[in-house]
Structure formats: C-alpha cells, structure tokens
C-alpha cells in the first residue's frame, strides 16, 4: 500500500486490506521461524534426508487435509453451516481395513485396489446425499457418518490390527525416486492434480463461486448441489488414497485412525492464512501440512512430548478462526 493510498483510503478499508496481508506474511514468518529454531537446536533438521522424511511422514495427513479443503471450498468456510467432512479419518481407517482384508483373502491386486477406492468414494456419496438431499448440516451429517464408518471398521477388523503385504505397499513404503520417498511423491502428486483442478480450471472457479457466493452462482445457472456433491466425492477419493499410504506406513490396517481428525482439521484451516483473501486453497493446505510436519519432526528430534503438538494445533485453529472472524466483521460492517 502506497503512502498516498494510506492517506485517501478510510481506516476501516485499510484494515480490511491489511488483515489478509498480515495473516499471510505472518504465517510465512512463523514457518521460517520454526525452521530456524529447529535448525539451530535439532541435529540434522535441515538435512536433505530429514526434509524428505518430513514430506513422507506428512503424506497421510496432507492428503486427507487436501480432500477436506475441497469440501470447505465447495460448501463455504462457515464452520457451522459451511463445508465440512469429519468422517475423513474414519473413512481412511475403513478403506485401509477393506484393502487389508481383501489382500489377505487373496483378491487380485486390481480388485483390492478398485474396491478400496470404491469404498472411499461410496462414503463420499453417502455424505453428499446426506448434505444435499436430506439437507443436514455438514457438521452433523459427517459426524453421524464418522460414527457409522468407525463402527463398520470395528465390525470388519474386530478392533484388531490387520497386517498385510503387497507389491503396492512395498513400493509405497520403500520406494525412492530422485532421493525422495514414494509417499512424498504421492502427496505432491495429489496436491499437483488438485491445484490444477481447483485453482486453475473452470470447475475450480465454479466450486469457489458455489461456496463463497451461492446466490450469485445460482443466478448464473450453476448447479449448486452437483458441485457440492462432487467435493465430497473428491474427499472420499483422497481418503482412499491416504488409506494406501497408511497401510504402507503401518504395514496394514491399524486402529485409532480417528485420532488424526484434529490434525486434518488444523491443517485445512491453517491453510486459509496462506491465501490472499483468507480463503481455503490447495497450495495453502500443502504449506500448512509441511508446517505441521516440520513442527512434529522438530519435536521428535528434540525428544519433546508429542502431546504438545495437540496444544499447538488447537492454538493454530483458534488463531485462524480469529483472523477469519475479524475479516467477516469488517466485510459485514461495510
């Protein structure tokens, strides 16, 4: 903002323009500060091997958060009435259990993979139908489906770990290309596809319009229900892809996948502050994924309890909600 603009633009308008700028630059400064602190205090933190390891360890949470971001974009950022999918972590657990069970039962690789992907998409269909046709608030609809899916996983696994092994899991767990683990490539590939689809395509532009300006989108002839439904399908597909990564990381299906939900929500909402207008976006979610990944990795290297990470995540969510609420108040006061 120039000195002339500072003189002629009213103070409320200047504050409205500065808020996203401060949030975005502040978030980048926080990321750089975290890197600097851990680089000075944690051994080998900035080594190429450790950075690649952070990308790989962040793949599961990152892919889930990317799926959640698509739902938030399509439904709007209002936590109560906007887009939300609380069933993503449970969907991952069910998909991992399905794949492990099918693989252990002797199904062909393509059959196990296809049915696992179908499971994730089916959950997306269920959520989409509940939100669109039953007109349930996404918060309640996906909370109900989360419990239903978790129950199905318990029935399938009998609340036990289902170890399994396959060529696909071997590649994901041990594969390395250009010095980067396969899981990191999966995260980057999913992010690249969604960046093109959401940020640089007509579909993504319309999805943003449906979420942010539903009345204008309806007047323009866009099918709001169709786009919101498609966002839940994308989220379900991301859950299935993350399930393969999880099965590779843990050598099969594991219990407690629901514990990842807080981290997924934190990443998706933290990604908002990396945008120009404090809106959900795919690149921001990827940066937030790495921010949390480096934070967790630094704590591990310094032997700091991982319980502190949950507190940091909660603080970050409160910070993002505060920034978004302040912006909404400024826009509403105009």
If you average pLDDT over every residue of the chain, what do you get? 84
Give the residue-averaged pLDDT of 102-107. Answer: 91
| Rounded distance between C-alpha atoms, residue 210 and residue 267, angstroms | 22
Neighbours of 60 (CB within 10 A): 28
Report in angstroms the alpha-carbon separations of 175 from 184, 303, 316: 10, 28, 33
Which residues pair with residue 17 across a beta bridge? none
Cβ distance 200 to 208 under 8 Å?
Answer: no
Tell me if residue 253 falls in helix, strand or coil: strand
Of 14 and 282, more confident? 282
In the chain, % of residues over pLDDT 90: 45
Please state which of the ranges 99-108, 132-141, 308-317 shows the lowest mean pLDDT. Answer: 308-317
The pLDDT of residue 230: 94
Tell me if residue 297 falls in helix, strand or coil: helix
pLDDT digits (tens, 9 = 90+) for 35-57: 788 888 877 888 888 889 999 99
Token representation of residue 304: 């700091």
pLDDT digits (tens, 9 = 90+) for 308-324: 777 776 776 676 666 55
Q: Is the pLDDT of residue 80 over 80?
A: no
Of 213 and 236, more confident? 236
Neighbours of 219 (CB within 10 A): 9
Neighbours of 302 (CB within 10 A): 13
Of residues 56, 272, 282, 120, the one with CA closest to residue 191: 282
Cβ distance 276 to 27 under 8 Å?
Answer: no
Give the residue-averaged pLDDT of 88-106. Answer: 94
| Length, in residues, of the chain | 334
Q: Which of 117-130 are b and which e, b meaning 16 or more Cβ less than 10 Å from the residue's Cβ?
A: bebbbbbbebbbeb
The pLDDT of residue 23: 53
The pLDDT of residue 269: 83
pLDDT digits (tens, 9 = 90+) for 262-276: 889 888 888 887 777
| Rounded distance between C-alpha atoms, residue 156 and residue 153, angstroms | 5
pLDDT level of residue 4 (50, 70, 90 thresholds):
very low
Token representation of residue 264: 């997924």
Give the residue-averaged pLDDT of 64-80. Answer: 85
| Rounded distance between C-alpha atoms, residue 118 and residue 127, angstroms | 14
Q: Is the pLDDT of residue 8 over 50?
A: no
């Amino acid at each position: 903002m120039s000195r002339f603009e500072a003189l002629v633009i009213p103070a409320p308008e200047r504050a409205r323009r500065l808020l996203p700028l401060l949030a975005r630059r502040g978030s980048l400064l926080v990321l750089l500060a975290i890197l600097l602190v851990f680089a000075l205090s944690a051994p080998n933190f900035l080594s190429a091997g450790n950075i690649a390891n952070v990308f790989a360890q962040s793949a599961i949470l990152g892919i889930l958060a990317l799926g959640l971001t698509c739902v938030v974009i399509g439904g709007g950022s209002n936590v109560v009435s906007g887009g939300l999918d609380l069933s993503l972590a449970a969907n991952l657990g069910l998909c991992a259990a399905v794949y492990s069970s099918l693989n252990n039962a002797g199904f062909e690789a393509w059959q196990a993979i296809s049915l696992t992907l179908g499971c994730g998409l089916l959950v997306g269909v269920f959520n989409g139908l509940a939100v669109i046709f039953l007109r349930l608030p996404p918060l309640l609809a996906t909370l109900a489906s989360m419990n239903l899916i978790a129950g199905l996983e318990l029935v399938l696994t009998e609340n036990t770990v289902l170890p399994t092994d396959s060529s696909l899991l071997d590649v994901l767990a041990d594969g390395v290309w250009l010095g980067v683990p396969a899981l990191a490539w999966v995260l980057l590939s999913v992010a690249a596809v969604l960046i093109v689809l959401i940020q640089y395509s007509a579909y993504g532009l319309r999805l943003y319009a449906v979420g942010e300006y539903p009345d204008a989108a309806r007047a323009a002839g866009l099918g709001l229900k169709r786009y919101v439904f498609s966002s839940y399908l994308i989220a379900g597909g991301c859950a299935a892809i993350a399930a393969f990564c999880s099965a590779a990381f843990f050598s099969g299906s594991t219990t407690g996948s629901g514990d990842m939900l807080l981290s997924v929500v934190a990443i998706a909402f933290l990604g908002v502050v990396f945008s120009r207008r404090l809106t959900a976006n795919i690149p921001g979610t990827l940066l937030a994924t790495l921010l949390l990944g480096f934070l967790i990795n630094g704590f591990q290297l310094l032997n700091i309890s991982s319980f502190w990470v949950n507190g940091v995540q909660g603080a970050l969510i409160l910070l993002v909600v505060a920034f978004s609420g302040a912006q909404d108040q400024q826009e509403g006061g105009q």
